[in-house]
Structure formats: C-alpha cells, structure tokens
Amino acid sequence: MDGHPLHTAPFIFPNDAHPAWSIMIVLYPYITGMVAGAFVVSSMYHVFHREALKPVAKLAVVTSLCFCACATLPLLLHLHQPQRALNVMVTPSPSSAMAGFGFIYSGYMLLLLVDVWLMFRPAIVARARSLTGRWGQLYRVLALGVLDISPGAAAIDQRLISALSVLGIPVACVLHGYVGFLFGAIKANPWWSTSLMPVIFLSSAIVSGIAVVILVYLFLCRWSGIEAEPECMRALSRLLWMFLILAVAFEGVELLHIAYEQEAEWHVIRELLGSKLRFSYGIVQILIGSLIPLLILPLPAFSHRLAARCRDSWSGVAAVLVLFQVLAMRWNVVVGGQLFSKSFRGFVDYPLTWWGREGLIAAAVVLAMPLVLLFGAMKILPVWPPGIDDHEGTIQ
C-alpha cells in the first residue's frame, strides 16, 4: 500500500463494489426539473403578465404536465419491487423526506391537471357540443358536465387560472428543491452534504425547463411553417440567460466554498473532479454547457438587428447545450458522489450499459415518453398554433 492513498486499489473497505443509484436516478431529477422550469414560463405570463410569453404560455403548461406524468418512470424502473411504490404514501413516515415526495408530486400533478383543464375548457366544451361519435364522447367526458362558457364563467376560470399559477410557483420550487434537500441531507457524503444543494437543483431545473420550451416552440414553428414571435424568443432567451447565470453562480460558489474550507475530504473531491469527472464536469458541464451558452445567449436575448433565422439558431443551440449542462450536472452529483470509496481511499467504477431496464436504451425511451405524451395532447387540445380560437369545434 505504498504511495498516495488515492492511487491505491479501488476496492478498499468499507466500500460498495458499484454505485447503488443508476442512470435512472440521474434522469429522475432531470425530468422533474423540466416540470418546474416549464411551469415557471407559463406563470410568467399568467401571474406576472409578460405579454411577450403569451405564444408559449399554454404550450409551457401542457409540456410541464406531460413531463410530470413521466417523472416517476425512472424511479419505477430503478425499483426492484415497483409494485410497492405506493407503500410510501399508504404507510408514510412523518420524518421521511422521501415519503413526503409522494404527496408533493400528487398535489402538483392535480394542480397541473386542473390548470390545463381550465385553460382549455372553452375549446373542450365547444367540441363536446359540436362533435359526434367517439370524439364527441371524449370531449363530453373531458368537460366533466360543466358546459357553461358564458363571459361570467370565463372570468371565474381566469381568476382560478391566476390563483393556480400563483400557487404552482412555490409548489414547483418545493417539488424540485426537495430533491436537492435529499442529497444535501446525506451527511456522510461530502460531495452532497451542502446547504446550497436544494438551491442548485432548483435553479438548474428552471434553466432546463426554459430550454425545453424554447426547443419545443422552435420545432413546432419550423414544423408548421410559421415564424417564431421575435419578442417571445427574446423574452425566452433573456430568461434562460438570467437563470443560467444564477445556476452557474450557485454551482461555482458551492465548489469554491468546499475548496476554501479545505476539510479532510477535499483531497478526494479534487481528485474526483480531476480524474473520474474530468470530462463530464470540466468539459461538458463547465465549458460546453455553461460558458458557451453564457456567451452566445446575449445575441438572441438583446439584439434587435439579428436576422430571425440567426436568432432562432443561436437560441436553439444554447438551449441544447444547456440541457446537456443540466444532465451532466445531475450525472456528476448522483453518480459522481458515489464514485469515491466510503473510506476516501480510492474510486469505484460505474458500469454504464446499453441494454437492461437501467441502460442507455431504456433511458432514451424514458426521455422520449414526455414528448410522445405532448404529441398526443396536441391531438386532443388546441395547444398549437398559438392564438388558436378556443371556441373552434373542429379537429385537424
């Protein structure tokens, strides 16, 4: 056992042979982050009256709902006994943050369902009255027997939408901030145990949600042959840039604080960042996913002379890079925090595979599921194009 302790054999006890939390636990906070971030975009219009975001307000809340519906899929795939998933809610422990997630998630899902139903209720009622056959039956079920779309009823709906949007902001923050709270509460792991962890997870969640809305909006505009609203794209780019600054700042402050304290565990974290996470942290998260978007986002965010195609291209590229940044951040936290041994005398390996319920293929399918749901939602609800008449009773 000569030499530096970090250069000894990787399996020095006490230790685990492989990380217990897999890529599915990486995807879980990644998807829930998009839920919170997309809802923030919708709330910016309904609560703070940012008129520039009106073209994506409904799209954002439906996107949030679709991602929320798939948020538990990674957890279910990771569990060896997924049929026991509801036990955490049936027999919860009052002191368990994990048990609290079931109630937070269920409440937020209900809030999103009611919010979407109120937003599209005029269109649902119009189609329930005008369509026959299976489509007519579907919309009559979706109307829930409430067929009043008078001006008075519409005013009540708008007040309820505003109230739910106000309530949804703190609930969305709790939904994703609690994930960071879980990691930050694990005192035995110096890479996780920091009071900034909930704030870092929340800020990066908002960043990823805004990036998803930008990409979905640009794709739908290109697909339908219409031009993206210039003010909407500038507003989205500004939001993405500002929240990215916050996310990068919090991540930098966290690392600086750990380095400044120079605790006994700092040497293993420094070695971890310089070896196992050199590419995913230094190259992907910092250089590609943080610095480059920070440099290019001011162009589409503040320039009024930039051509529409260039503006959309720069925004789209920045959104893609930001999504890679957030995914790398989740990977570096979840998997990276399990790579050093419990004795702080060596590292373990994470066997990433293509097949299996926790392989890359399954992860790609899980990431695609919310987009499939979004496509299905657009077939039922008048999500696109923006500004569509809510009282239109036909189906394209």
pLDDT tens-digit readout, 184-220: 777 777 788 787 888 888 899 999 999 999 999 999 9
Question: Letter for the amino acid at 99?
Answer: A
What value, to the nearest 5°, has the Cα angle with vertex 36 and ends 248 and 32? 90
Instruction: Concatenate the DSSP letters of all residues of 48-71 into one string.
Output: T--GGGHHHHHHHHHHHHHHHHTT
CA distances (Å), origin 42, targets 21, 58, 233: 33, 7, 14
Phi/psi for 340 (5° steps) reads: -90, 145
Q: What is the structure's pLDDT at 9?
A: 45
Domain positions in the chain are: 25-185+352-396, 226-350
82's CB contacts (< 8 A; 6+ apart) are 76
Question: Letter for the amino acid at 210?
Answer: I
Residue in 201, 208, 209 with CA at minimum distance from that of residue 332: 201
- What pTM, to 2 d.p., does this model score? 0.89
Q: What is the structure's pLDDT at 90?
A: 74
At residue 288, the 3 state secondary structure works out as helix
Q: What is the structure's pLDDT at 131?
A: 87
At residue 340, the 3 state secondary structure works out as strand
CA distances (Å), origin 355, targets 81, 343, 361, 363, 371: 19, 31, 6, 10, 22
Mean pLDDT in runs of 10 for the chain (396 residues)? Answer: 45 59 90 90 88 92 94 86 75 73 85 93 91 90 88 90 89 81 76 83 92 96 91 94 94 87 79 86 94 94 86 94 95 86 72 84 94 93 71 42
Token reading at 230: 């210039």
Token reading at 338: 């399990």
| Measured torsion, CA atoms of residues 205, 208, 214, 218, in degrees rounded to the nearest 10 | -140
- Spell 139-149 as b/e; 16+ CB within 10 A means b: bbebbeeeeeb
Q: What is the structure's pLDDT at 173?
A: 83
First to last CA, the chain: 71
> Is the Cβ–Cβ distance between 88 and 98 less than 8 Å?
yes
CA 365 to the chain's CA centroid:
16
CA distance 350 to 211: 29
179's CB contacts (< 8 A; 6+ apart) are 28, 29, 32, 198, 201
| Measured torsion, CA atoms of residues 312, 315, 318, 323, in degrees rounded to the nearest 10 | -100
Q: What is the structure's pLDDT at 316?
A: 95
Residue in 58, 21, 52, 55 with CA at minimum distance from that of residue 39: 58
376's CB contacts (< 8 A; 6+ apart) are none
CA distance 22 to 350: 8
Q: What is the structure's pLDDT at 344?
A: 67
